[in-house]
């Protein structure tokens, strides 16, 4: 995949002395949904946070849209259209839904069109419009996840990173989130999703990477990964 | 009893409270965004006071001009402190974990340096000047012009910062940083720039407060410490990092102090302030007006 939107080349990252990724490489095709699957502690969240710039890469290179972003601070990556919807949602709990969305559009690229985009997001998530003046911390997990995705979309991303978006949600709500992922692709966004619900994730993903011990051990189209013997055994319980 | 119900005392409480709120506002901005315990905050008040004093005595500049000069001096000191000391420490997650405690020591050192530089340069003797000391009467309330000046400027700046935080996108970024640093980073807040702006603004506010103090009281190189203490009492009363609650808490401390002293005697002023401090820490460590519980 030479025309990938995002490429990680031998990236090493971790927290302090603890190195979680040693030399991870992967690429994400534009306009597609790419999945990262793997067990707890495999390093999926570290990959996501390293791409977003929330933690720095200790070695290797990250390329986004042809530019080397390895040394860029997080806000500059957001400004380039690379946006993370973090694990645990991380909404601003004492701020209202509306203020959370406004903060999503703090990047320079997004400020001008923030109002129209906010209305689009309210159309996409009518429940957020109903609760626009409610404090984010008082909403349910599913509503907070919608808000976190809406906040990410406010930055006008070309690529959105969804880290464990269905974690802790009821099955009905999880289905809704997967429907949103399909919708985002239909709108032309590039999506990288890390999930523990492997079956549903591979059903929406065009491409997938299996992460184990901080490394990509298997890559392929979503359907063929779902049929792979190792994946079926380890993650689908078949 | 009549004294307690008088408008005179009410205004005294409002003036003291507005000044406390203003000073604490600067401290809260710096603590909230960076978790820096600035025990030199009162010394910035002292510097602002000397800027106004020398501006007037050497160049005949009105303390109104002094407000602008002091704000610039405060912002410059904030800029130097940030770039020289804290930027590198704040950029590393490992160093940042110990920064709250370390910043206390660093600022303690800065405080000692500022006090001693000031007493070397200006001598340790108390100084003062006259500004707007004619008396105005409103009904049974008599106020000197300089105290009205203090009240108006302090309220105006508190209100301006409150509105900035409430409505401007930059204020929202400050609030985001105070509330959830990791999330602020992720949504694309330029944390380095917001931190620099917060420390410049916080220091400038302290220096402005110093100008206000100098119009009504004598100033000396060691005048800062009581202001540091009252500012810490206020932000603990309001809940650390909670800016708008801090404004209310400032007024509250002003009322407590002025009415407390009126009921007892001026000798009990410190007892009252430290008493409130200890009582809050014992009974409600998350702050009288704070929400939720203390995260430790």
Tens digits of per-residue pLDDT, B239-295? 888 899 999 999 999 999 999 999 988 889 889 888 988 988 888 888 877 654 444
The predicted pLDDT at position B285 comes to: 82
pTM higher than the cut 0.90: yes
CA angle B175–A167–B181, rounded 5-degree value: 20
Determine the distance in angstroms separating the CA of B94 from the nearest CA of chain A, rounded to an integer.
Answer: 7
Q: Which whole number is the average pLDDT over B20-45?
A: 96
Interchain contact B179–A (C-beta under 8 A):
yes
Paired residues of B163 in beta bridges: none
**Do residue B180 and residue A15 have CB atoms under 8 angstroms apart?**
no
Interchain contact B172–A (C-beta under 8 A):
yes
How many Å apart are CA A110 and CA A213, to the nearest integer? 36
Q: Percent of chain B, pLDDT > 70?
A: 97
Q: Which whole number is the average pLDDT over A169-196?
A: 95
Chain A residues lying within 8 Å of B169, measured CB to CB: 102, 106, 111
Report yes or no on B27 lying in a domain. Answer: yes
Report yes or no on B172 lying in a domain. Answer: yes
Report chain B's mean pLDDT, rounded to a whole number: 92
Q: Which whole number is the average pLDDT over B222-232?
A: 96
φ, ψ of residue A140 to 5 degrees: the values are -70, 165
Tokens for B167, please give them.
Answer: 């409505």
How many Å apart are CA B111 and CA B92, to the nearest integer? 25
Report yes or no on B242 lying in a domain. Answer: no
How confident is the model over B84-94, as pLDDT tens digits?
999 999 988 78
User: What ipTM was reported for this prediction?
Assistant: 0.92
- Classified as helix, coil or strand, A178 is helix
- Give the residue among B159, B245, B102 at the shortest CA–CA distance from B280: B245
Question: What CATH code would you report for A6-81+158-234?
Answer: 3.40.50.300
Taking only residues 207 to 236 of chain A, the set having a beta carbon closer than 8 angstroms to any beta carbon of chain B reads: none
Report yes or no on B88 lying in a domain. Answer: yes
Which of B176, B183, B188 is facing A78, going by the closest CB pair? B188
How many Å apart are CA B247 and CA B150, to the nearest integer? 16
Q: Where along chain A do the CATH 3.40.50.300 domains lie? A: 6-81+158-234
The predicted pLDDT at position B154 comes to: 98
Report yes or no on B249 lying in a domain. Answer: no
The predicted pLDDT at position B290 comes to: 64
- Give the residue among A78, A92, A73, A107 at the shortest CA–CA distance from A148: A92
Question: CA-CA-CA-CA torsion for B167, B198, A148, A20, nearest 10 degrees?
Answer: 170
Q: Given pLDDT bands bounded at 50, 70 and 90, which one contains residue B296?
A: very low
**Do residue B182 and residue A155 have CB atoms under 8 angstroms apart?**
no
Q: Given pLDDT bands bounded at 50, 70 and 90, which one contains residue A81?
A: very high
Q: Least CA distance to B176: which residue of chain A?
A: A92
- Give the residue among B171, B226, B231 at the shortest CA–CA distance from B28: B231
- Give the residue among B289, B235, B271 at the shortest CA–CA distance from B21: B235
How many Å apart are CA B27 and CA B80, to the nearest integer? 17
Q: Are strands A33-37 and A82-85 parallel, antiparallel or unpaired?
A: unpaired
Residue A1 has pLDDT above 50, yes or no: no
Interchain contact A109–B (C-beta under 8 A):
no
The predicted pLDDT at position A234 comes to: 85
Number of domains in chain B: 1
Question: CA-CA-CA-CA torsion for A150, A31, A227, A236, nearest 10 degrees?
Answer: -10
How many Å apart are CA A196 and CA A174, to the nearest integer? 11
Taking only residues 67 to 96 of chain A, the set having a beta carbon closer than 8 angstroms to any beta carbon of chain B reads: 73-75, 78-79, 83-84, 86, 90-95
Report yes or no on B55 lying in a domain. Answer: yes
Q: Are strands A82-85 and A6-15 parallel, antiparallel or unpaired?
A: unpaired
The predicted pLDDT at position B295 comes to: 40
Q: Which whole number is the average pLDDT over B131-145?
A: 91
Report yes or no on B152 lying in a domain. Answer: yes
Q: Percent of chain B, pLDDT > 90?
A: 78
Q: Kindly report which listed range (A14-28, A64-78, B31-45) carries the lowest average pLDDT score.
A: A14-28
Phi-psi region for residue A90, left (φ > 0), alpha (ψ -120 to 50) or beta?
Answer: left
- Domain range for B33 is 19-221
> How many CA atoms lie within 13 Å of A134's alpha carbon, on the beta-carbon side?
13
Helix B41-59 and helix B7-34: axis angle, to 10°? Answer: 120
Phi-psi region for residue A86, left (φ > 0), alpha (ψ -120 to 50) or beta?
Answer: beta
Report yes or no on B5 lying in a domain. Answer: no
- Return all residues near A41 (Cβ < 8 A) that are at least 6 apart: none
Render A17-74 in DSSP notation, one character per residue: TEEEEEEEEEEE-TTSEEEEE--TTSSHHHHHHHHHTSS--SEEEEEETTEE-TT--H
Whether the Cβ atoms of residue A219 and residue A38 lie closer than 8 Å to each other: no
Whether the Cβ atoms of residue B20 and residue B14 lie closer than 8 Å to each other: no
Paired residues of A193 in beta bridges: A35, A162
């Amino acid at each position: 995949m030479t025309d990938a939107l995002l490429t990680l080349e031998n990236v090493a990252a971790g927290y302090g002395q603890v190195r979680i990724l040693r030399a991870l490489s992967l690429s994400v095709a534009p306009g597609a949904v790419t999945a990262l699957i793997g067990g707890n502690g495999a390093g999926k969240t570290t990959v996501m946070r390293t791409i977003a710039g929330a933690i720095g890469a200790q070695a290797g290179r990250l390329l986004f849209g042809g530019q080397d972003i390895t040394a860029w601070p997080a806000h500059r990556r957001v400004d380039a259209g690379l946006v993370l919807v973090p694990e645990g949602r991380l909404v601003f709990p004492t701020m209202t839904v509306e203020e959370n969305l406004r903060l999503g559009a703090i990047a320079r690229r997004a400020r001008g069109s923030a109002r129209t985009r906010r209305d689009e997001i309210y159309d996409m998530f009518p429940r957020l419009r109903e609760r626009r003046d409610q404090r984010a911390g008082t909403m349910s997990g599913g509503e907070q996840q919608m808000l976190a995705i809406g906040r990410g979309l406010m930055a006008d991303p070309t690529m959105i990173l969804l880290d464990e978006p269905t974690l802790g949600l009821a099955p009905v709500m999880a289905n809704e989130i997967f429907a949103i992922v399909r919708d985002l692709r239909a709108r032309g966004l590039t999506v990288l999703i890390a999930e523990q619900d492997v079956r549903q994730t591979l059903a929406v993903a065009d491409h997938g990477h299996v992460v184990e011990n901080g490394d990509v051990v298997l890559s392929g189209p979503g359907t063929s990964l779902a049929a792979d013997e190792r994946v079926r055994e380890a993650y689908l319980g078949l | 009893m009549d004294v307690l119900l008088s408008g005179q005392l009410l205004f005294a409480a409002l003036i003291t409270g507005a000044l406390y709120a203003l000073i604490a506002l600067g401290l809260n901005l710096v603590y909230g965004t960076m978790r820096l315990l600035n025990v030199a905050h009162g010394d910035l008040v002292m510097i602002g006071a000397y800027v106004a004093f020398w501006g007037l005595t050497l160049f005949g500049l009105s303390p109104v001009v002094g407000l602008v000069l002091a704000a610039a001096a405060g912002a410059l000191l904030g800029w130097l402190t940030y770039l020289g000391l804290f930027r590198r420490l704040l950029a590393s997650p490992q160093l940042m974990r110990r920064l709250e405690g370390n910043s206390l020591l660093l600022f303690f050192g800065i405080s000692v340096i500022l006090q001693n530089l000031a007493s070397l340069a200006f001598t340790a003797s108390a100084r003062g000047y006259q500004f707007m000391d004619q008396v105005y009467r409103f009904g049974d309330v008599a106020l000197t012009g300089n105290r009205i000046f203090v009240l108006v400027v302090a309220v105006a700046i508190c209100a301006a910062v409150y509105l900035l935080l409430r409505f401007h996108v930059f204020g929202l970024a400050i609030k985001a940083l105070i509330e959830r640093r990791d999330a602020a980073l992720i949504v694309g807040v330029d944390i380095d720039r917001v931190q620099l702006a917060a420390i410049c603004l916080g220091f400038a506010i302290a220096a402005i407060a110093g100008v206000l103090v100098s119009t009504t009281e004598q100033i000396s190189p060691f005048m800062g410490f009581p202001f540091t203490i009252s500012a810490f009492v206020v932000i603990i009363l309001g809940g650390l990092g909670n800016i708008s609650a801090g404004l209310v808490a400032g007024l509250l401390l002003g009322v407590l102090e002025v009415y407390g002293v009126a009921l007892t005697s001026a000798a009990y002023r410190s007892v009252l302030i430290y008493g409130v401090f200890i009582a809050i820490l014992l009974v409600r460590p998350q702050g009288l007006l704070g929400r939720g519980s203390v995260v430790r």
